[in-house]
Chains A and B, each alone.
Chain A
Amino acid sequence: DTAVSQTPKYLVTQMGNDKSIKCEQNLGHDTMYWYKQDSKKFLKIMFSYNNKELIINETVPNRFSPKSPDKAHLNLHINSLELGDSAVYFCASTPGSGQKNTIYFGEGSWLTVV
């Protein structure tokens, strides 16, 4: 069974559209994340979220918003897509905050904005 799963795996969309990427983890983890990996392979944290606290990387535009219907899901919603949003987006999870844990990544969602 896939521990952290993301959908869609590939997404091609036009500038100005609104899109969502879904993420689910079946590990029972408390904390979930979204990372963006650009064409230069820099992997940058976007959000960290558990049922108590949302931590937002201040460099992330407010067109990006995380939505968590429950502990096992953290979806990424993007409004008014721009060309520069093209990247691979990785969802991830850890058992909890404040613990020395490894992080489990999803397989990535390849977003192309045209």
Chain B
Amino acid sequence: EDKVVQSPLSLVVHEGDTVTLNCSYEVTNFRSLLWYKQEKKAPTFLFMLTSSGIEKKSGRLSSILDKKELFSILNITATQTGDSAIYLCAPEGNAGNMLTFGGGTRLMVKP
């Protein structure tokens, strides 16, 4: 059975701090790993990672994948209150585009 573990489960920081969110996975026929941000409604897409060691960046967010050690990290620098959300990682494996979601990391950024 595919398995995804995210850590920490929750995190409280102050604006300006840097955070690192972790995702370890075990999936059959790994294709890619996706990161999502979920606020009040549906998850919104952040990154898709397919190759090890290549950092993807979008503003203050960046992510990297290690396919040998089966993990990914999501970094957020200079956090803002608007970064408060649940961050979900989802490796894609098995048939088609089936995604297995981790339980998420709840990030709260205080002013």
Contact = CB atoms under 8 A, between A and B. Distances in A.
Contact of A97 (B48, B96, B101): B96
A31 B96 contact: yes
Interface in B5-59: 31-32, 34, 38, 41-45, 48, 50
Contact of A107 (B42, B50, B95): B42
B99 interface: yes
6 contacts: A44-B101, A48-B96, A48-B97, A97-B95, A97-B96, A103-B34
A50 B32 CA distance: 20
B95 A48 contact: yes
Interface residues of B, number: 25
Contacts of B97: 31, 48, 94, 96-99, 101, 103
Interface of A: 31, 35, 40-45, 48, 50, 53, 55, 90, 94, 96-103, 105-108
Interface of B: 31-32, 34, 38, 41-45, 48, 50, 86, 88, 90, 92, 95-101, 103-104, 106
Contacts of B101: 35, 42-45
A45 B98 contact: yes
**SS class of chain A's interface: helix, strand, loop or mixed?**
loop
